[in-house]
């Protein structure tokens, strides 16, 4: 018995070391992402919306501030989570290979510095012609190093078990989102240099910024969510295994919609985005009855409901975009559509899935409070509902009292984000689950 243990220990030690290195790194990405989410991201967004509501229009707010808020949310927060989870996944793909800790921490430093510099350059305007391009270079270099690590550590190919889908269904969707992320950062870097040479402020021209948001959200965030949902939702909430053809078709149509957007075929793009969303919902079986019991250990029992609701927000976003083509005159419908997508769908999914998987990724922790999980999601959706309802009514001059609803929506969403950050922050500060059980 002793001989067996002594022989197996050296084999297990590298795996344990890899796991610990990856846990430390993903924790750093989560913490920096939470910081950017709270202060540069959400707080600035709330400040912007309060100012817009007070002036009954966005004209008095710096476009650079609005874009700094958006960049912080997409790249500084969500991007940090994606990178952290990506590095953690390397230990699961090739557990026998040494974890690229040096590359991981280099990526974390480059990415975090780039995100904060972009925010500072946009908000303060100090030396922005140097700061903004430099921030773009830092983020592009960081992600390129991450991409190199992901390409190097490929999973060992395995044959699927009878009755199970091929594992590369979700992997290919996530890989496509990763390549799109690299392209998006290269485009962002190009825009930053172009604006520094010929622009008059840190803010990109409105049309270019709108197209860039479409590329970042529909090219990166949405397919990445679809890919991870294909992997996790059958496990977490007991859905049927996803349709491979349906998911690939949805992704292909969404790419066509992005191309149509850049070709200024906006009406065509809105129709294609709607079709892609419906196909993805059907392929993932999100709104169909579960075939297995949901796994609700250490999460709130409402978890499956909130997951399904995120896809309601995806459809709401697409419908509002369709309405915006003939009806939008002051940005109200487009703004509501974007908010339903980025907050209702993307942030809602991160709030739900993040509180399910991140505690385990960051050292086998257990979520501190399932009740806070519920309230963070409930308040996020309540604030999003108020914002999406009021923005077209206020901006388009349909119902003047809607201007008073917008500040309420901002405070409600800020409360939701704070609860989410508090819950994850305390969770990360607590000992691992097995250590807490041993102490008691």
Residue 421, phi-psi category: left (phi > 0), alpha (psi -120 to 50), beta (remainder): alpha
Give pLDDT, residue 4: 40
Lowest mean pLDDT among 113-122, 152-161, 246-255, 276-285: 152-161
Q: In terms of residue numbers, what domain contains 79? A: 1-154
Give pLDDT, residue 164: 52
Mean pLDDT of 290-297: 95
- CA–CA distance, 148 with 165 (Å, rounded to integer): 28
Answer yes or no: is 75 within a domain. yes
> What residues contact residue 429 under an 8 Å CB cut-off, 6+ apart?
none
pLDDT above 70: residue 60: no
- CA–CA distance, 261 with 271 (Å, rounded to integer): 11
Give pLDDT, residue 3: 42
Q: Which two tokens mark 115? A: 């995100």
Dihedral of alpha carbons 430, 432, 437, 440, sign: negative
Answer yes or no: is 227 within a domain. no
- CA–CA distance, 400 with 395 (Å, rounded to integer): 9
> At 185, which helix (H) or strand (E)?
helix 168-198
DSSP state of 160: P
> What residues contact residue 175 under an 8 Å CB cut-off, 6+ apart?
none
pLDDT tens-digit series, residues 408-440:
999 999 999 999 999 999 999 998 765 655 555
Answer yes or no: is 210 within a domain. no
Answer yes or no: is 123 within a domain. yes
Answer yes or no: is 294 within a domain. no
Long-range contacts of 19-22 (CB under 8 A, 24+ apart): 19/91, 19/95, 21/91, 21/99, 21/101, 21/104, 22/87, 22/88, 22/90, 22/91, 22/99, 22/104, 22/361
pLDDT above 50: residue 385: yes
pLDDT above 70: residue 310: yes
Answer yes or no: is 419 within a domain. no
Neighbour tally for 207: CB within 10 Å: 9
Please state the domain count of the chain. Answer: 1
Residue recorded with tokens 């707080």: 43
pLDDT tens-digit series, residues 251-261:
999 999 999 99
Answer yes or no: is 432 within a domain. no
Lowest mean pLDDT among 156-170, 345-359, 382-396: 156-170
Mean pLDDT of 70-83: 94
CA angle 274, 276, 277 (to 5 degrees): 65
Contact 302, 352 (CB under 8 A): no
More confident site: 41 or 267 = 267
Contact 92, 232 (CB under 8 A): no
Answer yes or no: is 404 within a domain. no
């Amino acid at each position: 018995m002793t001989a067996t243990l002594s022989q197996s220990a050296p084999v297990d030690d590298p795996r344990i070391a890899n796991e610990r290195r990856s846990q430390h790194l993903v924790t750093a990405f989560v913490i920096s992402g939470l910081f950017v989410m709270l202060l540069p991201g959400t707080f600035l967004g709330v400040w912007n919306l309060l100012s817009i509501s007070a002036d009954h229009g966005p004209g008095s707010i710096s476009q650079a501030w609005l874009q700094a808020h958006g960049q912080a949310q997409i790249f500084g927060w969500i991007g940090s989570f994606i990178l952290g989870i990506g590095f953690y996944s390397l230990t699961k793909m090739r557990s026998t290979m040494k974890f690229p800790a040096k590359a991981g921490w280099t990526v974390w430093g480059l990415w975090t510095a780039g995100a904060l510099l972009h925010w500072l350059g946009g908000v303060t305007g100090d030396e922005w012609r140097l700061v903004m391009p430099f921030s773009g270079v830092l983020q592009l270099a960081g992600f390129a190093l991450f991409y190199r690590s992901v390409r190097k550590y490929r999973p060992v190919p395995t044959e699927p078990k009878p009755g199970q889908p091929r594992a590369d269904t979700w992997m290919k969707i996530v890989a496509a989102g990763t390549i799109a992320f690299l392209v998006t950062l290269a485009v962002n870097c190009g825009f930053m240099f172009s604006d520094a040479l010929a622009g008059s402020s840190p803010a990109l021209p409105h049309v270019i910024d709108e197209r860039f948001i479409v590329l970042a959200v529909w090219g990166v965030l949405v397919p990445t969510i679809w890919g991870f949902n294909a992997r996790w939702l059958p496990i977490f909430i007991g859905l049927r295994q996803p349709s491979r053809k349906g998911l690939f078709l949805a992704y292909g149509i969404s790419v066509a919609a992005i191309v149509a957007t850049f070709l200024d075929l906006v009406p065509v793009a809105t129709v294609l985005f709607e079709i892609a969303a419906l196909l993805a919902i059907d392929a993932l079986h999100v709104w169909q009855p579960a075939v297995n019991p949901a796994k609700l250990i250490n999460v709130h029992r409402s978890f499956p409901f909130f997951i399904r609701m995120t896809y309601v927000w995806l459809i709401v976003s697409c419908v509002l975009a369709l309405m915006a083509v003939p009806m939008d005159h002051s940005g109200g419908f487009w703004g509501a559509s974007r908010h339903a997508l980025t907050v209702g769908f993307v942030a809602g999914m991160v709030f739900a899935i993040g509180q399910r998987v991140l505690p385990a990724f960051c050292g086998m922790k257990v979520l501190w409070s399932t009740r806070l999980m519920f309230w963070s999601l409930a308040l996020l959706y309540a604030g999003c509902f108020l914002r999406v309802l009021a923005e077209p009514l206020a901006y388009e001059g349909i119902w003047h009292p809607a201007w008073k609803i917008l500040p309420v929506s901002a405070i409600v969403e800020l409360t939701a984000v704070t609860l989410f950050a508090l819950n994850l922050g305390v969770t990360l500060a607590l000992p691992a689950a097995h250590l807490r059980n041993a102490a008691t």
